[in-house]
Chains A and B, each alone.
Chain A
Amino acid sequence: MNGRGRQFEEAGVTPLEVRGVTKAFRPSRMRFGSNDGARRGPHTAVDNVSFRVAPGEIYGVIGANGSGKSTLIRILSTLLLPDRGEVRIFGHDVLRDPQSVRPLLNRVSADPSFFRAMSAMENLLFFGRAYGLTGAEARQHSLAILRRLHLGERHSRQPMLHLSRGQQQKVAVARAFLSIPRLMLLDEPTTGLDPRSKRDVQGFVAEVRRQDGVTILLTTHDMDEAELMCDRIGFLSGGRLVAEGTPLELRTQVAAGRPLDQVDMETVFMALTGRSVEEDEDEDEANEHHEEDHDEGDSSRMEGARR
């Protein structure tokens, strides 16, 4: 951990503290030609979730599509107000003081959304300036990060729509780290990437964490990725955090005398949540109407795009 990470640790400031957060969505009442809204009740996307993330830690939130991961990320990103509970980022209340929180955090989503006609550099210039960098600083930092992600200056001049999915996601990673955040929210950052791009992104994240002591919240349904990158993991199922611990602690919990190397994280997830990833995806289908109004967003959209 670098000086900045240690500084927070010594000061006793918790980068992220989530206490009893709950968010339910009600179906839209204004749907023409349908009375479904009257019949359906609210859908609880996040249900009384609490956890803390220590300075410089990578905390993984594992859950299937529709388990509440993206809703949780939106709440932490100051874009969604929970019904109940409290979120503090470096001591600042996310609900009452979002303006103090925003300079401290940034985010990578599964879907690398950009102004598609603009070049990668024009996009990065905009987001760099929005976080207070000068034009020259934004260009210089952008190129440095893109180079570390094996993208050249040539790529930075191309319109985003001419870049491959993997290249776009690398630009999304550059956008997020350009502002030198203290807390990074990585919402399924490697979903849909080819193996090489996935390794590049994972390597970059690990390197930044090691060098700058950035605290990271990583949501994923990729068990290998979670185990590879995370110090601690929480399992989110049906909007509830049902288990939490280091990968070793979680394996030990379900090993029941078996050697730990024979207990993979998929087995741990099934044992502790009582369901598999496929079951949760089925539930997504059942909750389709809620997803239309307030979808879990990025993951399902990426699935759609791949189809």
Chain B
Amino acid sequence: MTTAEIVLRRPPRRLALGWAFVERQTNLWKRHWAWELVWLVYGVVNTLAITFIAKEAANTGAVTSTTELPRLTLFLLIGTLVWAYMSAVLDDMSLVIMWERWEGTIEHTLMTPVPRVVHLLGMSVFGVLHGLIRTSLILACSLPFFSVDLGHADWPVAAAVIAVGSISLVGLGILSGILPLLYPERGEQMSFMVQALVLLVSGVYYAVNVLPGWLQAVSHFSPATYLLRGIRDAIINGDGLSHEAGNLAILALFGVLMVPGALAAFAVAERWAKKTGRLKRQG
């Protein structure tokens, strides 16, 4: 019996196969440290550039109250940071297939005995950890530039919102990872379009109620809307668990529906790719 056969007969060890992907992505991350630095600098600059808009609003008189400026600053800061986190997770997940095509390893990886669910969950764990580390660094670099009051924040609730919201984010990431599987040449661009749509409708830099009615309706279908709302409520208003139960329940529902749905959709897409000969390297 081969080692792989033994492992596949033991569910706990089967789950551990997912570690292979976390470790591999970490090694890739270390080898491509210069790119990581680029994205970190870009993230910090983007955060500063957008959050300084609050100061401009005060200078031009758009914000007059002394309590409004710190509030607007925190609103924009949270928006940019949460978007940095979400885009890191979505980018990592959309690379599930794309990176393997570039490197030419796709056939070797997909013929390993790692069940696809374990493969995708391994990539998701890395994406979430990567997103959290990058966002924490952006926060550490950006915070000294602004005077914000975090005394009211309910951090455990904010952490709970991020934890529950990340599950639905993983589902969204797996769905966007399907596009490069179906469309080897245009899938990457399509993934970015999905991200752009999420950015538009989820209230990243403005409240959702400023959107036209039909876009507000679309915003209800984005888990990012509830993730952002929950974190802002917890950090800006200090809302406790009782206030955030609704947001958390919706995010949990998104997670429960999206992750199994995305895994099932990936399985169907993979079968179609196998039928049409698309599981091969590109370029």
Q: Residues of A with Cβ closer than 8 Å to B?
A: 25, 71, 74, 77-81, 99, 102-107, 109, 111, 113-118, 122, 125-127, 129-133, 137, 159, 175, 179-182, 293-295, 297, 301
B104 at the A/B interface (Cβ < 8 Å)? Answer: yes
Number of A-B contacts (CB under 8 A): 124
Chain B residues whose CB sits within 8 angstroms of the CB of A111 once the complex forms: 104, 281
Q: Is B112 interfacial (CB-CB < 8 Å)? A: yes
On whether the beta carbons of B20 and A126 are closer than 8 Å, the reply is: yes
Partner of B111, one of A102, A126, A137: A102
A-facing residues in B61-118 (Cβ within 8 Å): 103-105, 107-115
Contacting pair B31 A102 (CB below 8 A): no
In whole angstroms, what is the CA distance A105 to B274 when docked? 18
Tell me if B152 is interfacial: C-beta within 8 Å of chain A: no
A131 to B281, CA, bound (A): 21
Q: What are 13 of the A-B contact pairs (CB < 8 Å)?
A: A77-B107, A79-B280, A80-B277, A99-B8, A113-B108, A114-B103, A115-B24, A118-B27, A126-B20, A130-B113, A132-B4, A132-B7, A179-B4
Partner of A103, one of B5, B105, B274: B5
A113 near B2: Cβ-Cβ < 8 Å? no
Shortest beta-carbon distance from B1 to chain A in Å? 9
Complex Cα spacing A85 to B144, Å: 67
Min C-beta distance of A93 to chain B, whole Å: 15
Contact A118 B28 (CB under 8 A): yes
Q: Chain B residues near A114 (CB, 8 Å)?
A: 103-105
Write out the residue numbers on chain A whose beta carbons fall within 8 Å of the beta carbon of B275. Answer: 80-81
Query: Which chain B residue has the least Cβ–Cβ distance from A182?
Result: B2
Closest to B19 in A: A129
For B6, B19, B21, B108, the residue with the greatest tally of chain A CB atoms inside 10 Å of its CB is B108
Nearest chain A CB to B180 CB, angstrom units: 15
- B14's nearest neighbour on chain A, judged by CB, is A132
A132 to B32: give the CA distance in the assembly, Å. Answer: 27
Contact of B17 among A77, A117, A125, A132 (CB under 8 A): A132
B56 proximal to A (CB < 8 A):
no
* A115 and B4 alpha carbons, distance in the complex (Å): 22
CB distance from B8 to the nearest CB of A (A): 6
Closest to B283 in A: A301
Shortest beta-carbon distance, B101 to chain A, in Å? 10
User: Are B108 and A179 in touch, CB under 8 angstroms?
Assistant: no
Residue picked from A103, A107, A182, A297, most chain B C-beta under 10 Å: A103
B28-A133 in contact (CB<8A): no
- B interface: dominant SS: helix
User: A81 with B271: in contact, given A113-B104, A115-B28, A129-B20 (CB under 8 Å)?
Assistant: yes
Given contacts A102-B113, A103-B113, A180-B3, contact A159 B23 (CB under 8 A): no
Task: Flag whether B224 is at the interface (Cβ < 8 A).
Answer: no
Residue numbers in B under 8 Å from A102 (CB-CB): 4, 111-113
Task: Check if B220 is an interface residue, CB within 8 A of chain A.
Answer: no
Query: Does A132 contact B113, Cβ atoms closer than 8 Å?
Result: yes
Say how far B272's CB is from chain A's closest CB, in angstroms: 9
Give the CA-CA distance A118 to B279 in the complex, in Å.
Answer: 22
State in angstroms the CA–CA spacing of A186 and B103 once bound together: 20
What 3 pairs across the A-B complex have the smallest Cβ distances?
A: A113-B104, A132-B7, A103-B4
Most A Cβ at <10 Å: residue of B23, B105, B277, B280: B277
A25 and B277: CB pair below 8 A? Answer: yes
Q: How far is the CA of A115 from the CA of B108 in the complex (A)?
A: 11
In chain B, what residue has the closest Cβ to A160? B103
Q: How far is the CB of A176 from chain B (nearest CB, A)?
A: 9
A104 to B271 alpha-carbon distance, docked (Å): 21
Q: Is B13 part of the binding interface, using a Cβ–Cβ cutoff of 8 Å?
A: yes
Q: How far is the CA of A102 from the CA of B5 in the complex (A)?
A: 9
Q: Which of B31, B113, B276 has the most CB of A within 10 A?
A: B113
Chain B residues near A80 (CB, 8 Å)? 274-275, 277, 279
Residue B23 contacts which of A99, A109, A125, A297 (CB distance < 8 angstroms)?
A125
- Distance in angstroms between the alpha carbons of A51 and B109 in the assembled complex: 27
* A104 to B3 alpha-carbon distance, docked (Å): 10
Closest A residue to B6 by beta carbon equals A132
Q: Pick the contact of B2: A116, A127, A179 (CB < 8 A).
A: A179
Are B19 and A103 in contact (CB-based, < 8 A)? no
Q: A104: which B residues are within 8 A, CB to CB?
A: 2, 4-5
User: In the docked arrangement, what's the CA distance between A181 and B7, Å?
Assistant: 14
C-alpha spacing A117/B32, complex, angstroms: 8
B28 touches A81 (CB 8 A): no
In the bound complex, residues from chain A placing their C-beta under 8 Å from that of B280 are 74, 79, 295, 297
Residues of A within 8 A of B7 (CB): 103, 131-132
Q: Measured between alpha carbons, how far is A104 from B6 in the docked complex, in Å?
A: 11
